[in-house]
Amino acid sequence: MVSHSERPTSKTAGARSKTMRAFRALRALRPEAALKLLPRVRRVQGLEMMRTIRRLTKSSGKKRTIVKRLLGATLSAAASFSLIPVIYALSTLWPEGMSSASALSLKTLGCVPANAMSRWFGRFADSDRIPYFVHQREIRMLIKTYGIDISEVEHPLDHYHTLQEFFSRRLRPNARPPHPLCPLVSPCDAEVLQVGRMTSDDMILQVKGDTYAMSTLMQTTKQFSPRKPGFDRIYFLFHLRPRDYHRFHSPADIEVIEAAHIPGTLHPVTYASSKWIPGLFAKNERVSLMTKWQFGNLAFVPVGATCVGSISLGFDPRIRTNKTSSVQNIF
């Protein structure tokens, strides 16, 4: 038997109860059906929010102004963050062969504060104010969700005090010994998304029909040396998944000629997003390295992504990405 105090005492409580029931029902549906019903649930939430706004803004004077400003900021933030799941679903699940994003979709994507979100996430992941057990729980959840192989990790899990420490973990010695006879190796643990030959004018093919210049990606003052007869320029596109070891290494015996930090946005970087967002890798924040090796020039460009926007180089501590400054630097 339900007592009077346990019953909903207002229309707002009833609306909240309806919203929760609707969300539970959505979880049980197939994705296509859930997407069709989601606007109705959002409408119920909107009505509840409007009732709350009217109730809070009945007061007058300074209090009313403060409440309106707080509500305005909250609604703006909520509107921005509500776009994130939709955009990420499109950028990570876009089927192969579908058309690129429309101009409106790209403008909407540009309104998402991806850089600020990544900085906030980085502060959370590296914060020593958050209890140790919370970080440990996040680490173990990450391992379980993505199937991370912890047998290769340098230290026991209890050694990592923050999520960031585990995410930027080192591997145990000799976990990835390079082949002694191979002059070029993979610079990272990753899946190879694309391999191809550059065109005669050094254009890179991102997807069918969408190309961009190597000079646009690099933006260094040093350019490639002229091609030798009979030689091609090959490019590789590596994608570091959440489960992968997130440090990268020199792919060959190289000499760094120049390094450049190119500020930009931090869109999701997946195979699907590369098909949906034109010129994706030339838009995101990145660090470009022009180097020399035994066969001529070798370019190496680590590209940041959403919530993985911090790139640092062990040999040059001056280069740090995802900062509030948007000035390009060449070192």
Q: 0.85 cut: is pTM over it?
A: no
In this predicted structure, what is the pLDDT of residue 94?
Answer: 53
In this predicted structure, what is the pLDDT of residue 171?
Answer: 92
String of b and e for 20-46 (b: at least 16 CB within 10 Å)? Answer: eebeeebeeeeeeeeeeeeeebeeebe
Q: How far apart are CA 258 and CA 42, in angstroms?
A: 51
Q: How far apart are CA 253 and CA 298, in angstroms?
A: 10
Q: How far apart are CA 271 and CA 95, in angstroms?
A: 10
Which are the contacts of 255, defined by CB distance < 8 A and separation ≥ 6? 291, 292, 293
Q: How far apart are CA 253 and CA 255, in angstroms?
A: 7
Rounded to the nearest 10 degrees, the angle between the axes of helix 62-93 and helix 31-56 is 170
User: Which of 222, 196, 296, 286 has its CA nearest to residue 248?
Assistant: 286
In this predicted structure, what is the pLDDT of residue 139?
Answer: 92
pLDDT under 70: residue ranges of the chain: 1-102, 206-209, 324-331
In this predicted structure, what is the pLDDT of residue 8?
Answer: 42
In this predicted structure, what is the pLDDT of residue 318?
Answer: 80
Domain boundaries, given as residue ranges, for the chain: 10-94, 191-330
* 255-262 and 286-293 strand pairing: antiparallel
Beta-bridged to residue 298, according to DSSP, are 291
In this predicted structure, what is the pLDDT of residue 112?
Answer: 75
In this predicted structure, what is the pLDDT of residue 165?
Answer: 92
